[in-house]
Amino acid sequence: MIDYEFLKAHSLNEALDYLGSYENVKVIAGGTDILVDIRKENERAKSLKYLLDISKLKELKFIEGRKDCMAIGALSTHTMLVESAVINKHFPLLVSAAKTIGSTQIRNRGTVGGNINNASPAADLLPPLIALKAHVKLRSAKGEREVLIDEFLAGPYRTNRQSGEIMTEVCVPLLGEGYFMNFQKIGRRKAMNIARLNLAIVLGINDGAIFDSRVVPGAATAYPMRFRKVEEAISGKDIKDIDLAEIGELASDEMISATGVRWSTPYKRIALASLVKRALETIFMEAKADE
Amino acid sequence: MSDIEVTITVNGAKHCLEVGPKERLLDTLRERLHLTGTKEGCGVGECGACTVILDGEAVHSCLVLTAQINGSKVLTVEGLEVDGRLHPLQEAFIKHHAVQCGFCTPGMLMSAKALLDKNPNPTREEIKTAIEGNLCRCTGYEQIIEAIESVAKEFRGVSS
């Protein structure tokens, strides 16, 4: 039985005060991950002494267009992403990913900040946010800092967030002309589906040539990361010269070089190759139609 | 362990409660308020049997701590009936044989209600998405979808 005390923050400053003066505090918002961890007495929740509720901090619940980025408040729900006109317009990739999370009930309650901070290897928002070069803002009593998402992740279910810090928002830089993006996911069923594999690809294509490539599989490695060898292999190439099967294989090789051969490798080797092929195929078709 | 004071409105009635840090909304509804229409299935947000409407949105009451929702409004299946008259969704579930063992029904109804409140004219796909987090192990989903569709159609009939 995990025993804890409940603390409620009525403002961000109050939350930071609590974090500064108590130890073994976990922050709760939507609770769709942490309450499951507590109930299942998961190792990740065992050290918990205080649960700090920030779910009613309205100042962290927003989606706001800024000059060069789209700012998403940490307490924005997945439903807010799906329903946001500006996110649909600029980052359909995030919408596709958010739609696949859990179920309507989970998307209504689960938050963007929660998905990032829980840092599950299979988190559906992480590959798109890494591929979009998003950064997070972390606030503490000492001030504020910004960290790129791929540097924020430190391992499976681990981040570089310090104990006195709260994530306030994630900022997604707006893309220029010629960008295309795609999200893929496979799991055991369509709803309530924890990704066996997911994948985000963002490509900049000009006159058929790839000038920017970002390829981020999820649930393939200990935590989602850019697959640099795959990116290099397609960067600068003309899309009609790219052998999709070969690039798919390359992605599988890059996964295995990171993880070694695991029990799931015979499945994931083939599945990841197919996902990469499928995502690239879709993007190339869109790019051709756009010419 | 200190208790936390919470005021919530459930089916229109205000309740001032002192709850423990671990008490889930599901526990409050069933054990304190004796609203046992809301069911506990899996307890981890996978089956949807405990679905209620919290401030206008369908949520799992097993994944909400009551201490978190001071000032919120909750609607449970008991709140659907008005003056002894069943809600059109309840009538439709009966008419379309969308109930067999009945365990998933309160959750299904609340997911359907939340959908129609937000979008009175949903497509079949939107209905499926709205209930994708609600498991039914008896009927299959066909009759349930038909029941929800029929209420949406009725609504269109009335408004046009």
Check if the beta carbon of residue A111 is closer than 8 Å to that of residue A195. Answer: no
What is the rounded distance in angstroms from the CA atom of residue B49 to the CA atom of residue A250?
Answer: 44
A186 and A275 in a single domain? The answer is yes
Measure B111 CA to nearest chain A CA, in Å: 8
The DSSP line for A171-220 is EEEPP-TTEEEEEEEE-SSSSS---SEEEEEEEEEETTEEEEEEEEEESS
Gap between the Cα atoms of A282 and A268, Å rounded: 21
Average confidence (pLDDT) over B70-87: 97
Residue ending a domain, among B79, B100, B122, is B79
Q: Whole-model pTM above 0.80? A: yes
What would the pLDDT profile of A17-29 be if each residue is shown by its tens digit?
999 999 999 999 9
Q: Answer yes or no: do A204 and A269 share one domain.
A: yes
| Counted domains in chain A | 3
CB contact under 8 Å between B68 and A53, yes or no, is yes
Q: Quick one: which H or E segment has residue B9?
A: strand B4-10
Judged by CB atoms closer than 8 Å, whether chains meet at B60 and A102 is answered as: no
Per-residue pLDDT at B145 exceeds 50: yes
Q: What is the pLDDT of residue B2?
A: 65
Select the residue of B21, B64, B71 nearest A31 (Cβ to Cβ): B64
Confidence of residue B154 (pLDDT cuts 50, 70, 90): confident
Q: Do B44 and A55 touch (CB under 8 A)?
A: no
Residues A30 and A75 grouped into a single domain = no
User: What rounded mean pLDDT belongs to chain A?
Assistant: 95
Range of the domain at A80: 58-173
Mark whether B97 and B42 lie in a shared domain: no
**Residues B100-122: what's their mean pLDDT?**
96
Given an 8 Å threshold on Cβ–Cβ distance, is B57 in contact with A8?
no
Q: Which of A5, A103, A191 sits opposite B1 (nearest CB)?
A: A5
Is residue A64 located within the same domain as residue A88?
yes
Same structural domain for residues B94 and B49?
no
Same domain as A90, residue A25? no
Answer yes or no: do B99 and B142 share one domain.
yes
Residue at a domain's end among B26, B49, B79: B79
| Overall average pLDDT of the A239-264 stretch | 95
Q: What is the largest CA-CA distance in chain A?
A: 61
Same domain, B37 and B95: no
User: What was the pLDDT predicted at B157?
Assistant: 66
Range of the domain at B138: 88-159
Contact yes or no for A56 and B68 at CB 8 A: yes
Check which CATH number belongs to the domain holding A129 and give it: 3.30.465.10
Query: Is it the case that residue B159 has pLDDT exceeding 50?
Result: no
Answer yes or no: is pLDDT of A257 > 60: yes
Q: Which residue of B has its CA nearest to A77?
A: B57
Of the partner residues B58, B63, B111, the one whose CB lies closest to the CB of residue A35: B63
For residues B33 and B67, membership in a common domain is answered with yes
> B4, A36: Cβ pair inside 8 Å?
no
Taking each helix axis as running N to C, give the angle between helix B142-159 and helix B88-95, from 0 to 180 degrees, rounded to the nearest 10.
Answer: 130
Per-residue pLDDT band for A80 (boundaries 50, 70, 90) equals very high
pLDDT for position B53:
98
Nearest to B63 among A6, A32, A104 (CB): A32
State the pLDDT confidence band at A242, using cuts at 50, 70 and 90: very high
Q: What share of chain A has pLDDT > 70, as a percent?
A: 100
Shortest Cα distance from A63 to chain B (angstroms)? 19
**Would you say residue B160 has pLDDT above 50?**
no
CA distance A181 to chain B (A): 24
Q: How confident is the model at residue A290 (pLDDT cuts 50, 70, 90)?
A: confident
Same domain, B38 and B92: no
**B1: confidence class by pLDDT, cuts 50, 70, 90:** low
In chain B, which residues have their Cβ closer than 8 Å to the Cβ of A56?
68, 70-71
Partner-chain residue, chosen from B21, B45, B70, that has the shortest CB–CB distance to A106: B45
| Cα of A165 to nearest chain B Cα, Å | 21
Chain A interface includes B60 (CB < 8 A): yes
Residues of A in contact with B1 (CB under 8 A): 3, 5
Confidence at A195, pLDDT banded by 50, 70, 90: confident
Sheet of strand B13-19: strand arrangement: B13-19, B4-10, B73-75, B51-54, B57-60
CATH of the domain at A278: 3.30.390.50
pLDDT tens digits along A55-67? 999 999 999 999 9
Residues of A with CB under 8 A from a CB of B: 3-6, 8, 28, 30-32, 35-36, 39-40, 51, 53, 55-56, 79, 102-106, 108-109, 190-192
A21 compared with A191, residue with greater pLDDT: A21
Let me know how long chain A is.
291
